[in-house]
Structure 1
Amino acid sequence: MKSQKQANAARRQGLKALSALGLCAMAWTTPVMAQSWPEKPVRLVVNFAPGGAADVLARAILPQLSQTLGQPVVIENKPGAGGNIGIAETVRASKDGYTLLLSSGGAITINPMIYGKLPYDPARDLTPVAAMARIHVYLETHPSVPAKNVAEFIQYLKANPGKISYGSPGQGSSPHLAGEMFKRMAGVDAVHAPYRGAAPALNDVVSGQLQYWFDPGPGLKHVDAGKLRLLAVGSPKRSPQYPNVPTLAESGLPGFDADTLFGIYAPTGVPDAVVAKVRDGIARALEQKAVLDIIASLGATPAAMTRKQFVDHHAIERERFADLVASIGLKAE
């Protein structure tokens, strides 16, 4: 009996030793793996359609990020469900750093409030890696709308309740929330038309099928060409690119702010050393004039943030938009 107890004790000690060896091996191999990463192409999931702000930003940083990492970075557009399809694709990926996500902050912070059955929790399943750009939204109308400024536009909407339509890249997107914020603060009624991305929404505003929208940037070239009319900026400050265009706060809607951050995310569990390498690549990209010019072409501004600031920003955004989402009863399936 004694010898059996001794044998069991020895077996337990052996198992403990093996477990300790395993933990030591993991602790040693993780930094080694991170040092050698990447050894193959890296996939960058963009959770919105080609032609939108997220896609434009991804293609802007692609050359520098590939150069910094020493491997090709391949963009995969996974649009749909307000960005949820691309987020789910990223969350399901291996935690090795070979799948990253470029997303709007709204898809990360707002979607859990409006989609009832998400198969993931962004706060738990995604790691914020690096902020890239602060995307501003611009109130633009089709030239057929008889309004030259915000006050005239509000009067026009009040004279046509429920008859005027505005587009957005999708439910819960920052342009959609800007539209709802505008309706609420201005006391007007308009019909929301959600699209699968900014590009198709823009096409219908330019063609006149929609009367207005809150542009996250791609439509500014049509403003410059005279195909759209820019009435105001939905940001706390005027745009450096359009210094003569007032903010909505200056135009009778004090406190209006519909800005959002776009940035890079990784599946939770990716080694910190890999996250640091990606951050370094993004930082270098944001130093390139070509990248800064593209960000400026979107009417956006670079977002220089520490990682902690980027992480903390998500909680601020959740709190900032929670009341709006609840007050309008915004839900999506």
Structure 2
Amino acid sequence: MDRKTFLHCALGALAAGGAWPAFAAYPDKPITLIVPYAPGGMGTTFGNIVSEALSPALGERVVVDYKPGANGALGAGYVAKAAPDGYTLLMSVNSTMAINPHLYTKLPFDPLKDFVPVSMIFTNANVLVVNASSPVRSVKDLVAYAKENPGKVNYGSAGNGSTPHLSGEMFRQLTGAPVVHVPYRGSGPAIVDLLAGQLDFLFVDTSVLTQVRAGKLRALAVTGRKRLGVAPELPTMEEEGVKGFRVDTWYSLCAPAGTPPEAVKRLNTEIARMLADPAVRQRMRDVGVDPAEDTSAAYLRRTIEDDSARWKKFIQAAGIRLD
């Protein structure tokens, strides 16, 4: 309802001796979902699933807007400064909310103070892939190849501080392989360069399995604590002999701090319904992610806090700074 219509209705109601009319229920206009990465990869998958499921449930369009840069910090900073009215939301991942604070001394937002958690959406792990024409056919091959060509073997990532970047750093530390990091503004451009032969390998989200199944890329392992249900043939990095290697990723929804509790509750309720839908759950599993089992805002906050503490230890021990 625009201002002119609202005032007209209000004055009409008062003249008739009625009560002051209530504001329209949330939402009453389109919602913008900020994905803080370039199009492609799991950010696009997240945006499509959330937009297509929530738009009809909320009765208003959920429009996906990509704002890449600084490992998600630019997009997150944009949402942190947006009006806290429930109409600007953030696709928040662990690299943005739990890792960046320990990599940068200055960020345009505080993960816990500037946002209100809405709900976890899904979790997954990264996949280690090489070009299908690469002579590398296992993790052991990759380690040997990198050591035979010190400083000449490179890997891409979705950006400095992203879980693919830290997966590569963990790989370098735990194996001693002298590999070189090449950051991108999102996983999509990195995948393009891997397909073109400009990169030697890549840790990337499970959206890459499409290219693997098409025979364009070769998957060597997954970074999580267990094998993927969608690709059980792929071993974990630990199973491949890289002991202590574990990198899991989660994708969630957050809103600017101060967003009305009624809006947060409505969003949380519809997300819970979305994740209870067998068709949505199957769609997620088809792209290699696990639907969140706990959709409460309290669970998301605990996850951010716990992951932040775990990554702080790793980053400090590794001496990584990105300022």
- After TM superposition, the score normalised by the length of structure 1 is 0.86
Structure 1 equivalent of residue 241 of structure 2: 252
2:304 aligned residue: 314
- Please name the residue that 1:69 is paired with: 58
Alignment deviations for residues 238-286 of structure 1 (CA, whole Å, 9 cap, x no partner): 0101112110111112232111110000111112221111112222222
* Gap change, CA 1:34 and 1:301, over 3 Å in 2: farther
The 2-side partners of 1:33 and 1:280 are apart by: 22
Partner in structure 2 of residue 115 of structure 1: 104
Q: Deviations over 1:41-71 (max 9, x none)?
A: 1111111111121221111121221122111
Structure 2, gaps ≥5 residues long: 1-20
Show the counterpart of 1:133: 122
- Secondary structure of the 2:254 match is strand
**Cα distance in structure 2, aligned partners of 1:33 and 1:202:** 50
Aligned position for 2:73: 84
Q: How big is the shift at 1:89?
A: 1.0
Deviation at 1:163, TM superposition (A): 0.8
1:4-25 Cα deviation digits (max 9, x unpaired): xxxxxxxxxxxxxxxxxxxxxx
User: Matched residue of 2:203: which SS?
Assistant: strand
Give the C-alpha shift of residue 290 in structure 1.
4.5
Contact 1:170 1:195 in 2 (8 A): yes
Q: Following TM superposition, by how much is the alpha carbon of 1:144 offset from its aligned partner in structure 2, in angstroms?
A: 3.5
For residues 5-16 of structure 1, the aligned pairs below 5 Å read none
CA distance in 2, matches of 1:260, 1:219: 15
CA distance in 1, matches of 2:24, 2:204: 41
Task: Flag the 1:191–1:278 CA change in 2: closer, same or farther, 3 A.
Answer: same
Tell me whether 1:232 sits opposite 2:221 in the alignment: yes
CA distance in 2, matches of 1:204, 1:277: 41
The answer to which of 252-261 and 85-94 deviates more is: 252-261
**Contact 2:150–2:178 (8 Å) recurs in 1:** yes
Q: 1:101 aligns with which of 60, 68, 90?
A: 90
The gaps in structure 1 that reach 5 residues or longer are: 1-31
Q: Is the Cα–Cα contact under 8 Å of residues 216 and 298 in structure 1 kept in the other structure?
A: no
CA distance in 2 between counterparts of 1:95 and 1:179 reads: 37
Report how far residue 33 of structure 1 moved: 7.6
1: CA distance between counterparts of 2:241 and 2:251? 28
The alpha-carbon deviation at position 293 of structure 1 amounts to: 3.9
Among all aligned residue pairs of Structure 1 and Structure 2, give the percentage whose two residues are the same amino acid.
Answer: 38
Aligned to 1:181: 170
Tell which deviates more after alignment, 235-244 or 250-259: 250-259
Q: Which residue of 1 aligns with 2:185?
A: 196
Give the superposition deviation at 1:98: 1.1
User: Which one has the largest radius of gyration?
Assistant: 1
Partners in 2 of 1:327 and 1:223 — Cα distance?
A: 34
What's the CA shift for 1:200? 0.1
Are 2:264 and 1:275 aligned?
yes
Q: Quote the Cα distance in structure 2 between the aligned partners of 1:92 and 1:200.
A: 28
Q: 1:164 aligned to 139, 153, 156, which one? A: 153
The one-letter amino acid paired with 1:309 is Y
Q: C-alpha distance in 2, partners of 1:125/1:37?
A: 21
Structure 1 residues 215 and 107: CA distance shift in structure 2, 3 A: same
Instruction: Confirm or deny: 8 A CA contact 2:71 2:95 kept in the other structure.
Output: no
The one-letter code of the counterpart of 2:320 is L
Report the AA paired with residue 159 of structure 2. Answer: G
Look up the match of 1:7.
none
Whichever structure has more helix as a proportion of its residues is 1
Post-superposition offset of 1:151: 1.7
The answer to whether structure 1 residue 288 and structure 2 residue 280 are counterparts is no
1:327 corresponds in structure 2 to 317
Counterparts of 1:274 and 1:34 in 2: how far apart (Å)? Answer: 13
Partners of 2:22 and 2:185 in 1: CA distance: 38
Q: Which amino acid aligns with 1:202?
A: I
* 1:155 and 2:144 are equivalent in the alignment: yes
Structure 2 vs 1, CA of residues 180 and 312 (structure 1 numbering), >3 Å: closer, same or farther? same
Distance 1:34 1:58, change over 3 A: farther
Distance 1:162 1:303 in 2: 40
Instruction: Return 184-193 or 139-148, whichever deviates more.
Output: 139-148
Pairing 1:220–2:209 present: yes
Please give the per-residue CA displacement for 1:158-214, whole angstroms capped at 9, x wherever unaligned: 211211010001011111111111111111110100000110000011111101011
Number of residue pairs the alignment of both structures matches: 302
Mapped contact 1:233–1:246 kept (Cα < 8 A): yes
Deviations along 1:54-113, whole A, 9 cap, x unmatched? 221111121221122111111111111111111111111111111111121211111111
- The alpha carbon displacement at 1:35 in A equals 7.5
